[in-house]
């Protein structure tokens, strides 16, 4: 690392950059931080995922508290999602514990799932309106009982995806909630999605910690930069065209996913 930019400042600077994007778009935490740690810093995928999950748990706790005080969280939906995601995450981590996390097999699984997750996130960001329109035209409103069951199933899928790659709780989780609860206001969709991400990422992060795959020094440096980044991004969110940001973020995710998979 060159002398003009000391290595100890690169982690908080990266945290600030990711936090800025999260604050501006509401997406990008796990989608950018984990591949950034793997590709730029050479962190082992398992350690990158474990560290990022606790990073997400810390940052989204603050967001969920704000939404909770603003009464923009549907706690019943959070409970349904967690009913599927938390057990699925625990089972997924138990399976991973049977393998050598520092080995090549786990590295390949994590990078593959991460790359696919990034592609899916990018597609959701680009085609969200078309997806919502097609779904509404085909299915419309579902019966409450079926909606509840599908919510638990969505939670389980997110639990597996997030536990392996740390990606999925943002754009994909929010889109799933919009599809299942089309009458829910946007603020409650965001608040509910963020609130559900807290127990999911916390369980996943603690699981990786037990397995010895969390870098606490790195976590602290990332949080030191990301908190002011999120504040600055939230301030800029209303001053930059959302469509432009989503296109830029989507292209970035596609490039990163391709780099991971090739």
- What pLDDT digit, counting tens, does each position of 126-182 carry? 887 888 777 766 666 678 888 899 999 999 999 999 999 988 777 788 888 888 898
**Confidence bin at 242 (pLDDT 50/70/90):** low
In this predicted structure, the answer to whether residue 1 has a pLDDT above a threshold of 60 is no
C-alpha to C-alpha distance for 191 and 197, rounded to whole angstroms? 10
C-alpha to C-alpha distance for 140 and 132, rounded to whole angstroms? 10
Residue boundaries of the structural domains of the chain: 9-261
**Confidence bin at 26 (pLDDT 50/70/90):** low
Query: What pLDDT is attached to residue 196?
Result: 92
Query: What pLDDT is attached to residue 190?
Result: 81
Query: What pLDDT is attached to residue 92?
Result: 94
Digit-coded pLDDT (tens) for 39-97: 888 899 999 999 999 988 888 887 788 778 888 889 999 999 999 999 999 999 999 99
Residue 114 · residue 34 · CB < 8 Å:
yes
Query: What pLDDT is attached to residue 62?
Result: 78
| The two three-digit tokens of residue 184, written as one number | 């829910």
Give me the chain's average pLDDT, please.
84
| The two three-digit tokens of residue 112, written as one number | 């593959």
| The two three-digit tokens of residue 132, written as one number | 């919502």
In this predicted structure, the answer to whether residue 4 has a pLDDT above a threshold of 70 is no
């Amino acid at each position: 690392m060159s002398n003009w930019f000391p290595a100890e400042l690169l982690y908080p600077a990266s945290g600030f950059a990711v936090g800025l994007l999260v604050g501006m778009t509401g997406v990008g935490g796990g989608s950018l931080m984990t591949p950034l740690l793997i590709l730029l810093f050479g962190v082992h995928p398992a350690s990158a995922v474990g560290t990022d999950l606790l990073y997400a748990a810390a940052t989204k706790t603050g967001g969920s508290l704000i939404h909770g005080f603003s009464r923009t969280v549907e706690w019943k939906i959070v409970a349904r999602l967690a009913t599927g995601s938390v057990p699925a995450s625990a089972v997924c981590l138990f399976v991973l514990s049977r393998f050598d996390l520092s080995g090549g097999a786990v590295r390949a699984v994590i990078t593959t799932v991460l790359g696919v997750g990034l592609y899916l996130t990018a597609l959701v960001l680009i085609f969200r309106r078309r997806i919502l329109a097609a779904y509404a035209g085909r299915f419309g409103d579902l019966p409450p009982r079926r909606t509840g069951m599908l919510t638990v199933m969505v939670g389980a899928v997110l639990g597996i995806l997030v536990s392996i790659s740390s990606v999925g709780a943002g754009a994909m989780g929010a889109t799933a909630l919009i599809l299942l609860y089309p009458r829910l206001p946007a603020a409650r969709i965001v608040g509910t999605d963020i609130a559900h991400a807290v127990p999911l990422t916390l369980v996943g992060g603690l699981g990786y910690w037990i397995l010895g795959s969390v870098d606490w020094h790195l976590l602290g440096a990332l949080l030191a930069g990301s908190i002011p980044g999120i504040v600055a991004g939230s301030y800029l969110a209303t001053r930059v065209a959302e469509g432009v940001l989503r296109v830029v973020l989507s292209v970035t995710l596609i490039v990163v996913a391709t780099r991971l998979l090739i």
